[in-house]
Each structure stands twice: as C-alpha cells, then as structure tokens.
Homo-oligomer: A and B are copies of this chain.
Amino acid sequence: MQIGRHTLPRTALCASDANSIRIRGRELATELIGRQNFSGYFHFLVTGREPGPGAQRVLDATLVAIAEHGFVPSVQASRMTFAAAPECLQGAVAAGLLGCGSVILGAAEDAGQLLIAACARATELGSLDAAAEALVAQRFAAGMKLPGYGHPEHKVRDPRVAALFGVAREVGGDACDPRFMQAAEAVEAVIPRVYGKALRLNVSAAIPAVLLGIGFPSNALKGIPLLARTASLIAHLVEEMAMPSGFALAYQATRELQVQEGGRP
C-alpha cells in the first residue's frame, strides 16, 4: 500500500460494543474465557483455528523450550533498563524484546524457510536427502550460514531438540506432520561433509520443524520466541525487584574495558 492512500483499516480479529467483545466471531466472555488456555488462545488469535490436543502440546513445548536461557544479552539489557527506569516495567520488557533479532532469536523464521525450501525441493528431486544436499551445498557456495544449526554453548546437540522432536513424535503424524523434522535432520546429516564441521541442530531449527508440522503459519514463527521471551522477561524483572542485578551486570561488564583514547571509530 502506498503511504497515505485513502484506504480503510480492516481486521478479522475483534469487534466490540457496550455489551459484547467478539474475537474472530466468538463471544469472549462466554465462549473463550475459561474454555481455552492461553497458548491455545494465541493459536486461535493467529490462525483462526483452535489447536487440537496434539498441536496444543507441540505448541506449548516450543514456547517452554525457548522462553528462558539465563542471563542472555537481551535479559541483561532488560534488567539494566529496569534498574534505571523502574517506573516503567513495560519499557524494560520492550528493551528485552528488541534484542530478539536476526542474530539470536530470529533464526527460527529463517530456519523455517530453509525447511520449507527443503521439502519443496524434495518433491522435485525425489528425496529429502538429495534436497538437503543441494540446498546446503548452494548455501555453502554462497558463503551463507545455516540458520538453526550450531550453538555457541551446546556444541554436541542442544538438548531441547530431542525434547521437542520427542513431543512431536509422541503426538503422532496425524497431529504433527514429521516431514519438516525429517528435513531438519537431513540437513544436519549433510553439513559435516559440506561445511567440514558438525553443526548440530539447535532449538531455533527444531521449533519451526515441529510447528510447521502442526500447520502453524511460517510468517508467525518469529512470534514464538517473542511471546516466549516475554514470559521469561517478566520473571526476570520480578526477580530484579527483589534481588537487583541490573547495575551489578553493568559494573562487571566493564571491569576490564579497554579505552583507546584518541582512537577513531
């Protein structure tokens, strides 16, 4: 759309008047509150469909998997922000979310695109292995990284991967199409040969692998770490209220700061 075009805003999400709030056609007060749990409602808001029990379990597993991993940079940024501006909890949460970008948590969406491409290519080439081989070789030749593979801390294999795949297999192929997990593992198997080192599947590829399996839309994948991290940021900030670390982190971080006076940028 062009900026300033004379268009009317539209939505399918919510209509309300003095007596009623309808969400995607359902009455919030009588049909949703008390009937859906929060992650199921999130699925309903995003897709218009309530998840079945299997899809619900898979979705919960991904949100639990990615929510919390300690004092990562975005949590530190959030705690420092809260220490400096305690009047504004929402600002500290926002600061934390702003660090959920392409380098760290954004990988989930890129990895999802890779898995979708692998499955599409497999139809052409006859097998996931051939598709993985082709895609990985192509990315390597282009000097690209593989989103969702390798982890600075979990060198062997991110333990969350097996946990997520375990849940997805438990709920079964009817609830969660295993194709994207298979693609993820086909890619993982090819990497050592092409990249010359074993970059194992990490949580950022495992999440789209199972969520695409339940039909979760690929353009909403980036929302998964954002929603999950909000939960964890709130927990960190509640802890920060009682046991502050924000300024201590800033102090520790610069104990060995190298100042290059007169240096140019």
A contacts, CB < 8 Å to B? 1-25, 28-30, 32-34, 36-39, 41-42, 45-48, 56-57, 59-61, 63-65, 67-74, 76-78, 80-81, 83-95, 97-106, 152-156, 159-160, 162-164, 166-167, 170, 217, 219-220, 222-223, 226-228, 230-232, 234-239, 241-265
Contacts and interface: CB of A to CB of B under 8 A. Distances in A.
Nearest to A232: B45
B90 A85 contact: yes
Contact of A248 (B1, B21, B217): B1
19 contacts: A5-B152, A8-B257, A9-B257, A11-B70, A12-B264, A15-B70, A25-B261, A29-B159, A37-B60, A38-B60, A41-B231, A76-B77, A90-B98, A91-B101, A94-B97, A97-B97, A227-B231, A227-B234, A252-B255
A65 B33 contact: yes
Contact of A83 (B73, B81, B97, B153): B73
Contacts of A38: 37-39, 59-60, 63-64, 67, 228, 231
Nearest to A155: B18
Contact of A252 (B106, B222, B238, B254): B254
A250 B64 contact: no
A238 B46 contact: yes
Contacts of A259: 10-12, 14-15
A90 B101 contact: yes
Contact of A85 (B7, B32, B103, B220): B103
B2 A32 contact: no
A253 B253 contact: yes
A98 B104 contact: no
B253 A21 contact: no
A238 B223 CA distance: 9
Best-surrounded residue of A80, A87, A249, A253 (most CB of chain B within 10 A): A253
Contacts of A74: 80-81, 84
A48 to B, nearest CB: 5
Contacts of A156: 18-19
A246 B3 CA distance: 9
A106 B170 CA distance: 41
Best-surrounded residue of A18, A104, A230 (most CB of chain B within 10 A): A230
Nearest to A24: B262
Contact of A265 (B37, B46, B77, B222): B46
A154 B18 CA distance: 5
Nearest to A56: B37
